[in-house]
């Protein structure tokens, strides 16, 4: 017997690597010292006096199921990179390099190449080098036609320029940056509501969405690197929270100093129709609704209330719409750290 008889096709993997090399080279910058294919990737860190490395690892979650159902695989790679970029950007980091992990039961170079093309595209857009990764073919481990996807990012910042939230004070304003939709969270509930409860499929067109359910659920997770860097450059950013799993309720407290909470004005921004549609289908309790979905806000930035004019100018220059969605307050005994009004 050969390895192929056990379900592993090395020739298919070699074809994929050849395609990946071309895509990855398009993301390289002067810090990259090695080509794709070595045992390890080398990156030279320069230009910082007291550098701090900031890293994050994440996956796309069950949003991958939508890619499987639609046969569209070029957007989930963008989701992965942008999610990871946001996670390090909120602490003041510029992304340096990215590595991906793709695992499947039977490797299809066409599908894997589409996934990695999305990763390469997002890396280029974020100024981040795709310097390595792993593609694992594991027969019998994954359902036919499915794969898993994860990624790891490393960014860097000057120690003195880290965004830690320590400067946040009562009276500071919450600035909300809009999401494109669900981004990469709440998909297990969304799939159950759309497909099991409402009996729709990915090709169903709904007037509220202006297109198909598949199109809506595959909207790319936004990168907020550009507006965050604009606020940092202007010396305006005190803290930033990437609104992912846990929603505004779960993520905003992660950046608050002890003894502080926030009040969120629920009418301060327009919710994309998909969220109200899901709420109606499932009759979702409000607290659960707010902890599952981002509800149209993908990033919250904390700034001084007297600096909102400068914030507006900085974000307009970055081409970023924004909403003032609340404020920081002293936490009163017995109150939740996030209150909605």
pLDDT for the residue numbered 304: 98
pLDDT for the residue numbered 1: 75
pLDDT at 3 over 90: no
pLDDT for the residue numbered 6: 67
Tell me if domain 3-161 and domain 173-340 are identical in fold: no
Q: Which of the two residues, 6 and 133, has the higher pLDDT score?
A: 133
Q: Residue ranges per domain, the chain? A: 3-161, 173-340
pLDDT for the residue numbered 5: 67
Q: Closest Cα partner for 20 from 105, 134, 124? A: 134
Place of tokens 């974020």: 126
Cβ contact 161:280 at 8 Å: no
The class (CATH top level) of 3-161 is alpha beta
Q: Which helix (H) or strand (E) holds 326?
A: strand 323-330
HSE-CB for 171 with a 13 A CA cutoff:
4
What is the tens place of the pLDDT at every residue in 267-280? 999 999 999 999 99
Q: Which of the two residues, 71 and 14, has the higher pLDDT score?
A: 71
**pTM to 2 decimal places:** 0.94
Give the range among 34-38, 196-200, 283-287 with minimum mean pLDDT. 34-38
Residues of the chain with pLDDT > 90, as a percent, come to 89
Q: Closest Cα partner for 96 from 31, 20, 151, 21? A: 31
Q: In what order do the strands lie in the sheet with 297-303?
A: 239-242, 297-303, 173-178, 323-330, 260-264, 338-340
Place of tokens 């600035």: 175
HSE-CB for 131 with a 13 A CA cutoff:
23
Q: Closest Cα partner for 212 from 200, 199, 198, 202? A: 202
pLDDT at 2 over 80: no
What is the tens place of the pLDDT at every residue in 51-66? 999 999 999 999 999 9
pLDDT at 76 over 80: yes
Average of pLDDT values for 250-257?
97
What is the tens place of the pLDDT at every residue in 144-161? 899 999 999 999 999 999
Q: What is the DSSP string of 148-167?
A: EEEEEEEEEEEGGG---STT
What is the tens place of the pLDDT at every residue in 194-251? 999 999 999 999 999 999 999 999 999 999 999 999 999 999 999 999 999 999 999 9
pLDDT for the residue numbered 39: 87
What is the tens place of the pLDDT at every residue in 79-126? 999 999 999 999 999 999 999 999 999 999 999 999 999 999 999 999
The class (CATH top level) of 173-340 is alpha beta
Give the chain's mean pLDDT: 95
């Amino acid at each position: 017997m050969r390895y192929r008889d056990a379900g592993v096709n090395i020739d298919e993997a070699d074809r994929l690597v050849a395609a990946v090399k071309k895509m990855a080279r398009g993301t390289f910058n002067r810090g990259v010292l090695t080509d794709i294919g070595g045992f390890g990737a080398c990156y030279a860190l320069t230009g910082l006096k007291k550098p701090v490395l900031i890293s994050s690892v994440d996956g796309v979650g069950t949003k991958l199921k939508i890619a499987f159902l639609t046969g569209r695989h070029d957007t989930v790679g963008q989701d992965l990179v942008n999610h990871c970029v946001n996670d390090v950007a909120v602490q003041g980091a510029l992304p340096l390099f990215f590595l991906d992990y793709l695992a499947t039961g039977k490797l299809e170079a066409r599908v894997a190449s589409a996934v990695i093309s999305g990763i390469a595209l997002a890396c280029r857009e974020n100024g981040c080098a795709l310097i390595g990764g792993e593609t694992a073919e594991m027969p019998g481990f994954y359902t036919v036609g499915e794969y898993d996807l994860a990624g790891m990012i490393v960014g860097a910042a000057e120690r003195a320029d880290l965004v830690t939230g320590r400067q946040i004070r009562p009276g500071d304003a919450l600035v909300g940056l809009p999401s494109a939709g669900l981004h990469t969270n709440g998909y297990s509930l969304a799939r159950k509501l759309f497909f099991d409860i409402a009996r729709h499929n990915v090709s169903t067109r709904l007037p509220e969405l202006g297109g198909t359910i598949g199109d809506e659920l595959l909207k790319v997770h936004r990168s907020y690197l550009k507006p965050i860097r604009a606020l940092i450059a202007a010396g305006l950013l005190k803290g930033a929270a990437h609104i992912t799993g846990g929603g505004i309720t779960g993520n905003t407290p992660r950046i608050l100093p002890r003894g502080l909470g926030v009040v969120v004005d629920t009418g301060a921004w327009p919710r994309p129709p998909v969220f109200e549609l899901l709420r109606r289908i499932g009759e979702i309790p409000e607290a659960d609704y707010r902890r599952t979905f981002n509800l149209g806000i993908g990033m919250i930035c904390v700034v001084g209330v007297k600096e909102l004019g400068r914030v507006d100018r900085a974000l307009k220059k970055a081409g970023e719409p924004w909403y003032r969605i609340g404020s920081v307050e002293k936490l009163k005994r017995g109150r939740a750290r996030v209150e909605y009004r």
